[in-house]
Amino acid sequence: MYDILIFVYETFFSSGVYPTNAVLQNRLFAAGFEPEEVEQALAWLDVVDQLPAEEITAASAGAMRCLSDSEFDKLGQEGWGFLCFLEGSGILDAVQREWIISSALAIEGGEIGLDKLKLITLTVFWRQGQPLDVLLMEELTGDGEPFVH
């Protein structure tokens, strides 16, 4: 699935285009991705698109966020530290943090690792139509080679 997210980032992110799932599915099939991978990625993007901002805002206003064991297992210490750094720096707010955590939890498997969390963060911002701060883009994409294929 991460290869698909990298493809989507490289194909659509800089243009600001937000294709429908049908268009995205056709592009992914044309690029040679397997149907099962495409379905999994599109299902995950649907989860991202349907995150309830109002509930997250009400639940997190002024509260300190502690992770459950399963959340910590998924994000890992480095990933959680990264999100805390972004939030403490004012780059990420509580709602955005929760979108990212919810999106990460929706991915099957164990700990996702920092590079994959950065990709998830980038994808969540893109799907939510959030403008990205230049410093955040630099942090998420590094020196122009954001992710290993």
- pLDDT of residue 50 exceeding 80: no
CA distance 4 to 147: 12
- pLDDT of residue 66 exceeding 90: no
Q: How many C-beta atoms surround the C-beta of residue 108 within 10 A?
A: 7
CA distance 115 to 21: 25
Contact (CB, 8 A) for 71 and 101? yes
Tell me, what's the pLDDT at 144? 47
Q: How many C-beta atoms surround the C-beta of residue 146 within 10 A?
A: 17
Contact (CB, 8 A) for 75 and 101? yes
Start-end of H helices in the chain: 2-8, 21-30, 35-49, 53-60, 69-88, 94-105, 114-127, 134-141
Q: Pick the closest to residue 106 from 98, 114, 95 (CA basis).
A: 98
The angle formed by the CA atoms of residues 9, 46 and 7, to the nearest 5 degrees, is 20
DSSP state of 92: S
pLDDT digits (tens, 9 = 90+) for 88-132: 888 888 888 888 998 899 888 899 999 899 988 888 887 777 666
* Mean pLDDT score across all residues of the chain: 80
Domain residue spans of the chain = 2-141
Whether the predicted model's global pTM rises above the 0.75 cut: no
